[in-house]
Amino acid sequence: MACFDTAFHRTHPYVNDTFALPRRFYEEGVRRYGFHGLSYEYIAERLRAVAPFHAAGRVVVAHLGNGASMCAMRDGRSVASTMGFTALDGLPMGTRCGQLDPGVLLYLLQHKGMDAGQISDLLYKESGLKGLSGLSADMRDLEASSAPEAAQAIEYFTFRIRRELGGLAAALEGLDAVVFCGGIGENAWRIREDVLEGMEWLGIELDRTANRARAQLISSARSRVQVFVIPTDEEAMIARHTLSLLQRGR
């Protein structure tokens, strides 16, 4: 039994599914697949139970952990994702770089003499929070550190989330709810606070007390956009899909 983390994103429109490369590459399968689909599918189901009105609207989910991405959903279906052809794209992560100018890869190849294996190790294992801070890939270590490099790594992480939030809201042509999930999204209240600071222009007003108390609803009563913290469970989604398949086979 295989549950593909990309399946949830097959509802993307063409413009959110392709790269501006010759069309033959798209037809060969070079396209934006998106990842963390099992997590987003679980959150879409949980949100229908927690806030059915908002679940039917325009929602951005931030899955923040050692791997991090964001997904724009309309009526529980994926419209856009920050991850693309691989799990390297989009947000910076524990050890992965996130969005990167392709020209950097050409520079590494042509001027630094790095081969494909070395570049792969750099982008997947030595970059992200670990590379930026020079200390750790673990957000808990960075938050506990007084090193300026740790603070800069956190600032870059939250800046990229804020930037993607604005872009995904534009893809949805508005925003009704935001959901945080994943190890960082569920537990790091400072990160949520930094991400949502000054987001009133988007209709988000944070309830700092609720956020620090780890409440499920962390937006204020005046906030037009509701903000939730909902623990995700990818293993549960795999179990449900497996059970459904077994039941159909009886």
Phi, psi of 117 (to 5 degrees): -65, -40
Report the distance separating Cα 57 and Cα 41, nearest Å: 15
CB burial readout 105-116, b (16+ within 10 A) else e: eeebeeeeebee
Report the distance separating Cα 202 and Cα 15, nearest Å: 24
Determine contact, residues 204/192, Cβ cutoff 8 Å: no
207 is catalytic: no
Report the distance separating Cα 98 and Cα 92, nearest Å: 4
Type of residue at 157: F
**How many CA atoms, within 13 angstroms, populate the side-chain half-sphere of residue 236?**
10
Task: From the candidates 5, 17, 89, 176, give the one annotated as an active-site residue.
Answer: 5
The residues annotated with a catalytic role in the active site are 5
